A and B are shown apart, each in its own frame.
Chain A
Amino acid sequence: MEMNQDKYSDLTKGYDQDSDKRGNIPAESVFEEVLPNVIAAKSNELFALARKSSLWTLSFGLACCAIEMMSAHMSHHDIDRFGIVTWPSPRQSDVMIVAGTVVKKMADPIKRLYEQMPEPKWVIAMGACATNGGPYYRSYSVVMGVDHLIPVDVYVPGCPPRPEALMYGIMELQDKISSDAKNRANLISKKHLNNEN
Chain B
Amino acid sequence: MNTLFGEKKAEAKKIVFTSVDQYPEAPISLGTTLSNFTGDWRTFMPVVNEDKCVKCYICWKFCPEPAIYIKPDGYVAIDYDYCKGCGICANECPTNAITMEKEEK
A and B bind:
no
Chain B residues near A (Cβ < 8 Å): none
Q: Which residues of A contact B (CB under 8 A)?
A: none
